Amino acid sequence: MSSASSTLHSGPGRDSSDGRGEPVTLDANGPRYVYYRLYTKYGSITSNNPIYANDPYISRTLPKLITPPLTASSVKKHLCKIEGLSGAINTTLFESLSSQTAVEETSRLPLRGSTGPGLFENDPIVVVVGEQDVEKRSMTIVSLKDLPEAGQVNPRYVYYRLYDEEGAMASKTSFDSEDFSLGRISMLSVAPPQTVALLKFRVMKAEDLIGHNIQLFKDIDGEVPMNDNEPISHPEAYNYPGYVADEPITIICRTQEKPSHSSKRSPSSKPSSSSELNSSPRPSPSGIPNADQSIKELWWAELIILKAIDLSSMVSEGRDKRYWLSFKKDEIMYTDGFEEEFLLHGEFCGGYKAINVDGKRGLVLKRHVDFC
């Protein structure tokens, strides 16, 4: 019996952990594609080359476009190039969404036959990139209206209840108007290796809690926080903590500590003018040796969030205007939290060194911002 296509299942393990749990169809007469998804530690990011109008996160490429030999390194370089991420320096590749370990740089991937990773769109290979690389990404404007829609899927969610130290919080992912603290996120949106730590990062992003201290418990009665290195679900498992709405995991957001006055730099170390913005070198963060210098000196992933509370921080007068960072009301910036004093119009003013999401850095006055 011959057929142009056949329906295959990716196996019980992957059905339970890929976020869809759907059978897939392999067209025997079509080209062998390599399907892939892109992530940061905070979750999935859209593709510059979407293939579906209702799912901008999944894409595909052809093995013949990848420089041989087909190692993890060459696959990553190709995907980063076509996704506007050329030069990305902090990337890892996983053979599937359920993989617990990244592929070694020199490991070869069987991408040309009817088997191997990335063969099916519901079990794509995954590239995880650094946030600092995404900030510098070259974006492509793509029209989705002429693209086909992906078939119906059964999304798999992680359900959770959100609390702070004073009680239930309104979840930004709430789906029930009568239960405001119950939220959910798709398993597909959690980056491999889908550990508790990466689930935390995904929740931080979804709930606008980046930089906060959160703890996860398996249920409402949990007394011991879940281990950050613990997988959300094992590949052979059909369920996992929070897999049904009636048994959500518990997420507690602890009060974020603001920098204390003791963290101020001593008066003897204060700069005599704003021209000393770059005069105090800091150790470069590990893992980004070739990153832009502004990111090295104020690497936002390790910093404290500032929010603008004034209409503009632009200093309108004085020769030191170029040292001050301009921003709009409610704009988010990042700082190391050390309050310093800078000379402005002959007077010392309190402020911070800051960097915005575009990588531009400068000084902001204390009175113009507040800690989130």
State the sign of the Cα–Cα–Cα–Cα dihedral 230, 232, 237, 241: positive
Distance CA 319, CA 9 (A): 67
Domains with residue ranges and CATH for the chain: 5-135 (3.10.20), 157-254 (3.10.20), 264-280+292-371 (2.30.30.40)
Q: Is the pLDDT of residue 319 over 60?
A: no
Q: How confident is the model at residue 87 (pLDDT cuts 50, 70, 90)?
A: confident
Cis peptide before 241 (omega within 30 of 0): no
| Nearest residue to 130 (alpha-carbon basis) of 17, 296, 251 | 296
- Give 53's DSSP letter: T
Confidence of residue 26 (pLDDT cuts 50, 70, 90): low
Residue 31 has pLDDT above 70, yes or no: yes
Average pLDDT value over all residues in the chain: 76
Percent of the chain with pLDDT over 90: 42
Whether pLDDT at 129 is above 70: yes
Answer whether residue 322 shows pLDDT above 70: no
Looking at residues 308-317, what average pLDDT do you find? 51
Question: Of residues 298 and 330, which shows the higher confidence score?
Answer: 330
Q: What would the two tokens of residue 287 be?
A: 């893992």
Q: How confident is the model at residue 203 (pLDDT cuts 50, 70, 90)?
A: very high
Asked if 293 contacts 285 with a C-beta cutoff of 8 angstroms, the reply is no
pLDDT of 190 reads 94
Cβ contacts of 293 within 8 Å, gap of 6 or more: none
DSSP letter assigned to residue 265 = P
Q: What is the pLDDT of residue 7?
A: 38
pLDDT tens profile 256-310:
554 444 344 333 333 333 333 333 333 333 333 333 333 334 433 345 666 677 5
Greater model confidence, 225 or 1: 225
